[in-house]
Every structure is written in structure tokens, then in C-alpha cells.
Amino acid sequence: MTKVLTDDDRSIRIKGRSFLAVVLSPALPLDQWLARLDDLAARSAGFFLTRPVVLDVTELQIDRAQLKELLAELSARNVSIMGIEGARPSMMAPGMPPALKGGRPSGDIEVKQTEPVSGEVQTEPPRVEITEQPRPTLQSLVIKESVRSGQSVIFAEGDVTILGSVSSGAEVIAGGSVHIYGSLRGRAMAGSVGNTSARIFCRKLEAELVAIDGIYKMAEDLSPDLIGHPAQLWLEGDAILADKMN
């Protein structure tokens, strides 16, 4: 019985993507907080039903058993927790939602209240209003020196330009294109948040790994006549193409 496990035409794509999650930060005593939550849920029916919710327990002094209990209470209220933020490792147990970190604050989310009185025609569906959402603008990051071994530059918002080199053992991850005015000896990943038109440019290609939109190529997959030359790499379909630049 043979089964072809690898299919050269299709590589696995690993992408990053960010979503806006609702964050709940419970406060002690928990029974009072749950009562307030029940009160809120009664006034806006189904608010938590379809939403990804992150539980922030940074300020909460509870142990593993209490956290388990809290999760059960929330689950009974149809609040599905997708992740737990700020939990100490001692609080976590197998089967709990994964620990999250590195969250960035966004605007407050207002819970639109639904009228408990029936019979009135709902003219507007209940909606979530997000205040002060930043307007998306094209951004770029310029690094004026070399990225040394062991350092990584991660910039999901746009292009990254490196005026020096990227050393062996260093990495640059950009949401947009990567421009390197020195040698690329480490790793460069462009279009990390799903940008298929992102490219990688460098003065001297000696990369350990290049990736665009989750599709990657190792050093040995690169054509030997490109090595040591100025080059650009881009994506066509599911393949990374590369060419010399003059």
C-alpha cells in the first residue's frame, strides 16, 4: 500500500492574521462579576454568542481550580473563550484554551442594548460599534544598520528597508516587501500577513531561507547562479521565482 505524502506542486502555507477579539477582564469576587455579566447579557441578547472572547486574568489572583470553575461558568453562559491572556503557567491545565500574549489594545467595544420589550419592530440589527479604529495607512520601517545574528525585525504593518546587511542567523519578517541594501545571509519573509504581491530585494543573495506569503524556499532550492548577486524574489501562483537585478 503506497500513498504519496508529498505533492511538489502544493506547499503548506503558514500565515499570520490578526482578528479583533472581545476581551473580558473578570474582577473579584467572581460571583458578583458573573452577576454583572448576566445583567449585561440580559440587556443585549446574544452578544457573546458568535464572538471570539479572550479572558484577561492578568489582574486576577486565582488558582487553577478557580480558573477552571470560571471557565465552566462562562461556558454555561454560552461565552466561548478562545484564549487566556496573562495567566501564570501554574494556572493552566490541559484542555483549557491556549495562553495568549502580545495583545495590542484597540478601541472600547460598546454593547448595543436590545430592548427587552417584544412587539416593537427592530429597525436596526444589534451591532457592535468600535470607536477610534485606526485608519489603515501604508507604513514602512527603515533600519539604518545591519541586522545581526540572533536579532529579528518583525513588522507586520508594511515594508521593511534595511540599509545594512542581514546576517546569518538573523531574520526579517515584513507584512509587505523586504528591501535589503546589503547582503542577505539570514532569513527574509515578505508578505507575512497574506500579501501575495510582496517581494524581496537584496544587493547580494546568500539567504538561508526566503518566504513570501507563507511559501518558502531554503538556500539549497535557490539557483546557484543567483548566489552572491543582486536579486529579487516574488511569488507566482504557489512558486517563488527569483531573478538577478542589475
- Minimum separation from the CB atom of position 153 to other proteins (A): 11
Give the residue with the Cβ less far from other proteins, 183 or 195: 183
Choose between 97 and 164: whose C-beta lies nearer to other proteins: 164
* Exposed / middle / buried, residue 202 (Cβ in 10 Å: 0-12, 13-18, 19+): buried
- Measured from the CB of residue 152, what is the shortest distance to other proteins in angstroms? 10
Q: How far is the CB of 145 from other proteins (least distance, A)?
A: 7
103 or 182, CB closer to other proteins? 182
**Nearest CB to other proteins, comparing residues 157 and 208:** 208
Q: Which amino acid is at 29?
A: P
Alpha-carbon distance of 215 to 48, in angstroms, equals 36
Handedness of CA 201, 205, 206, 210 (dihedral sign): positive
What are the residues binding other proteins (CB under 8 A)?
145-151, 164-165, 167-170, 182-183, 185
**Which pairing describes strands 53-56 and 81-85: parallel, antiparallel, or unpaired?**
parallel
Type of residue found at 211: A
Minimum distance, C-beta of residue 208 to other proteins, in the bound complex (Å): 11
CA distances from 236 to 174, 197, 215, 225 (A): 18, 9, 11, 20
